[in-house]
Chains A and B, each alone.
Chain A
Amino acid sequence: MQVTLKVMRYDPNKAAKPGWVSYQVEAEPMDRVLDLLHKVKYFQDGTLAFRRSCGHGICGSDAMLINGKNQLACKALVKDLTKKAGDTITVEPLRGLPVKKDLVVDMDPFFDAYRAVKPYLINDEPPPDRERLQSPEDRARFDASTKCILCAACTTSCPVFWVNGSYIGPAAIVQAHRFIFDSRDRGARERFQALAASTGVWRCRTAYNCTEACPREIPVTQAIEEVKRAILYDKF
């Protein structure tokens, strides 16, 4: 069947503002939006720019706004986005990050926030002979937050992040959650410095956009609330 792929395109060398461009694409119901983008890029317009790497929902490169919702282009199927042949699928770059070209956004602010929470194990205690053991229950405590692929779908769906971009964002908080609730980690206080600032977790208004946007089904808002509680119990 034929579908219309409507892409928000932007080339800073050619136009001052982004604009919609429509493409007629032959699609199967089980095609992914990524396949449609490939069809456009390979056969219709080679100048279309977008990021993708693995194409299987693991690398987190191809998060974009598909039919108004943050999704991975490699996980969004045509059959879920259209009702009949000729329907339109809209594709836009992620919101809240500067667009470099077409669907490619500048991820630097996102990774600045990621670095700010020190997303690695912090533990100065001398390591045991073999490894730092952990019970299955302790491992399960932060299991959900290990699933993050840093696609930025959550952070760029957050209305607070859209305002000025200085909010640390749900993705960074999920990464902090992954280590704060790790029984082997001792760096919670260091992470709280970035998380307890006025640009940190207290900006969260529990809009739940992040939880809905997450392609890995991480309960993001819950993780944020748990980090808030961790900071609260640390101080009182």
Chain B
Amino acid sequence: MAVRARRYQEAKAQAGTNLELAWWVFMRVSGLVLVFLVLGHLYMSNILINAGKVEYTYIAERLSNTTWKIYDWAMLSLSLLHGMNGLRYVLDDWVRDPARRFWAKVVAYSLAVLVFFVGSMSLLNHDFSKGLSENTRLEQSEGTR
């Protein structure tokens, strides 16, 4: 016997899956990974270079490298999933009305999908190496430091 379910939604919530356990583990792991990813990002865009001097060429030089593309894409997807799941927790905890909760989630998830799509497109579908010759790349990196 489970806690008395009055609606289909409640009965579904009580069905025995380990989805919430998986999310709980994901939150901890992604949180830890994100700390290092973001620290690395802060180092590259604030300490390695004066943040006020960051220009397209500096970023493009880094993103023309596949490793850094993967790095940024990992940061994008992990932070979106981590943040949206946190938002899901908040909505589940604070929006009492089931219909409003449903629509709040629809809006939040749609925005997340949109941001993820735009972010992935600009990261993966743009040729960052265009216009960066060997010389300008060296000059730029020398000049900005």
Contacts and interface: CB of A to CB of B under 8 A. Distances in A.
Interface in B1-15: 1-5, 10, 13-15
Interface string B24-52: 11000000000000000000000000000
A235 B21 contact: yes
B86 to A, nearest CB: 11
B56 interface: no
A196 interface: yes
A199 B14 contact: yes
A193 B16 contact: yes
A168 interface: yes
Given A113-B3, A197-B14, A199-B3, A163 B21 contact: no
B19 interface: yes
Main secondary structure of the interface of B (DSSP, over half): helix
B21 A232 contact: yes
Interface in A116-134: 116
B92 A228 contact: no
17 contacts: A109-B4, A112-B3, A113-B3, A116-B1, A166-B10, A193-B2, A194-B14, A196-B17, A196-B20, A197-B13, A198-B17, A199-B13, A202-B24, A231-B21, A232-B24, A232-B25, A235-B18
Given A205-B93, A235-B21, 9 more contacts: A166-B14, A196-B20, A196-B21, A197-B2, A197-B20, A198-B20, A232-B24, A232-B25, A235-B18
